[in-house]
Amino acid sequence: MSNSPELIIEVLEDEECGYRARALGEGIFTHGATLDELRANVRDAVDAYYDGEESRPKIIRLHFVRQEVLTW
């Protein structure tokens, strides 16, 4: 578990569950049907992953990744 002041969360839009999120470099995964639900679930997942406020990153950066499918 990193003691970095910032945690980057990659967010992908998902047709089945709304949004999927995973932390880069850490074993944190969650999802949410809406952006508000995702934000709350990210906070809960980060709180559960780290032992106390001292070890938890001070900043959580959500990085939204857009996927495009090109066909012929």
By the 8 A CB rule, do 30 and 41 touch? yes
pLDDT at residue 30 greater than cutoff 60: yes
pLDDT at residue 4 greater than cutoff 70: yes
Greater pLDDT, 26 or 67: 26
Question: Which residue carries 């996927």 as its tokens?
Answer: 67
Question: Measured between alpha carbons, how far is 8 from 6 in angstroms, rounded to an integer?
Answer: 7
Q: Which two tokens stand for residue 26?
A: 């850490």
The per-residue pLDDT of the chain, averaged, comes to 92
| All structural domains of the chain with their residue ranges | 6-65
Question: Measured between alpha carbons, how far is 22 from 8 in angstroms, rounded to an integer?
Answer: 9
- The pTM assigned to this predicted structure is 0.85
